[in-house]
Structure 1
Amino acid sequence: MGTNVFEKGSYLVESLSVKSSESKPILIVTPTEEGEYPVLLFFHGFLITDSAYSKLLHLISSHGYILVAPQLSTSIFTSGNEEVKSAAGITNWLVSSLGTILSSNNFKSVPNLNKVALAGHSRGGRNAFALALGYGGSLTLKFSVLIGIDPVAGLSKCLQMEPKILTYNPKSFNIGIPVAVLGTGLGIESKCCGLMPACAPEGVNHDEFFDECKPPRWHFLVKDFGHMDMLDDSSKKLSSCICKSNGGDWEPFRKCLAGILVAIMRACLDDVKEDIQVIVNNPSVSPTPIDVQYEEE
Structure 2
Amino acid sequence: MMAKIAEAKVVTTDVFEKGSIQWKHFNIDTNSPSSPPKPLLIFTPTVPGAYTVIVFYHGFCIPPSYYCDLLSHIVSHGFIVVAPQLFCSLPLLECDEIKVAGKVVDWLVKGLQPLLPENVEAKLEKVVLSGHSKGGQTAFSVALGYVKTMLKFSALIGIDPVGGLSQCKASKTSPKILTGVPRSLNLKVPVAVIGTGLGPEKANVLFPPCAPKGENHVDYFNECKPPCANFVAADYGHMDMLDDETPGIIGTVLSKCLCKNGKGPKKCMRKTVGGLVVAFLRAQLDEHFQDFEAILHNPGLAPARLNDVKYIPA
Give the TM-score normalised by structure 2: 0.89
Distance 1:244 1:116 in 2: 33
Question: Closer, same or farther in 2 for the Cα pair 1:77/1:209, shift >3 Å?
Answer: closer
1:263 and 2:279 aligned: yes
Match of 2:4 in 1: none
Distance 2:150 2:183 in 1: 26
Equivalent residue in structure 1 for 2:152, among 126, 142, 148? 142
Q: Which amino acid aligns with 1:222?
A: A
Alpha carbons 2:37, 2:104 under 8 Å: kept: no
Query: Which deviates more from structure 2 when the two are superposed, residues 12-21 or residues 60-69?
Result: 12-21
Match of 1:289 in 2: 305
Runs of 4+ in 1 over 6 A off after TM superposition: none
Matches within 5 A, 1:83-102: 83-102=97-116
- Alpha-carbon deviations, 1:37-58, whole Å to 9, x = none? 1111100000000010001000
Question: Closer, same or farther in 2 for the Cα pair 1:77/1:155, shift >3 Å?
Answer: closer
Q: Which amino acid aligns with 2:73?
A: L
Matches within 5 A, 1:43-58: 43-58=57-72
Q: Which SS does the other structure have where 2:112 is aligned?
A: helix
Contiguous gaps of at least 5 residues in structure 1: none
- Superposition deviation, residue 100 in structure 1: 1.5
1:219 and 2:230 aligned: yes
Question: Closer, same or farther in 2 for the Cα pair 1:80/1:209, shift >3 Å?
Answer: farther
Distance 1:4 1:233 in 2: 23
1:65 and 2:82 aligned: no
User: Percent same amino acid among aligned pairs?
Assistant: 48
Q: Which SS does the other structure have where 1:36 is aligned?
A: strand
Distance 2:130 2:136 in 1: 6
Q: Which amino acid aligns with 1:250?
A: K
Kindly report the root-mean-square deviation, in angstroms, between the aligned alpha carbons of the 2 structures: 1.6
Alpha carbons 1:115, 1:269 under 8 Å: kept: no
Query: Which deviates more from structure 2 when the two are superposed, residues 76-85 or residues 47-56?
Result: 76-85
Distance 2:69 2:94 in 1: 27
Match of 2:25 in 1: 15
Q: Which amino acid aligns with 1:74?
A: C
Question: Closer, same or farther in 2 for the Cα pair 1:77/1:256, shift >3 Å?
Answer: closer
Distance 2:138 2:91 in 1: 16
Q: Which amino acid aligns with 1:257?
A: V
Question: Closer, same or farther in 2 for the Cα pair 1:177/1:5, shift >3 Å?
Answer: same
1:82 and 2:96 aligned: yes
Question: Closer, same or farther in 2 for the Cα pair 1:77/1:154, shift >3 Å?
Answer: closer
Q: Which SS does the other structure have where 1:144 is aligned?
A: strand
- Superposition deviation, residue 228 in structure 1: 0.4
- Alpha-carbon deviations, 1:22-65, whole Å to 9, x = none? 54110000111111111111000000000100010001000011
Match of 2:220 in 1: 209
Matched length = 292
Alpha carbons 1:156, 1:201 under 8 Å: kept: yes
Question: Closer, same or farther in 2 for the Cα pair 1:113/1:22, shift >3 Å?
Answer: closer
- Alpha-carbon deviations, 1:214-242, whole Å to 9, x = none? 01110100001000011111127431211
Q: Which SS does the other structure have where 1:55 is aligned?
A: helix
Distance 1:124 1:43 in 2: 5
Question: Closer, same or farther in 2 for the Cα pair 1:118/1:27, shift >3 Å?
Answer: same
Distance 1:143 1:115 in 2: 5
Q: Which amino acid aligns with 2:136?
A: G
Query: Which deviates more from structure 2 when the two are superposed, residues 88-97 or residues 244-253?
Result: 244-253
Question: Closer, same or farther in 2 for the Cα pair 1:23/1:62, shift >3 Å?
Answer: same
Q: Which SS does the other structure have where 2:192 is aligned?
A: strand
- Alpha-carbon deviations, 1:124-153, whole Å to 9, x = none? 0000000011112x2111111100000000
1:242 and 2:258 aligned: yes
Alpha carbons 2:26, 2:41 under 8 Å: kept: yes
1:111 and 2:122 aligned: yes
Q: Which amino acid aligns with 1:220?
A: F
Contiguous gaps of at least 5 residues in structure 2: 1-9
- Superposition deviation, residue 248 in structure 1: 4.0
Match of 1:272 in 2: 288
Distance 1:142 1:45 in 2: 23
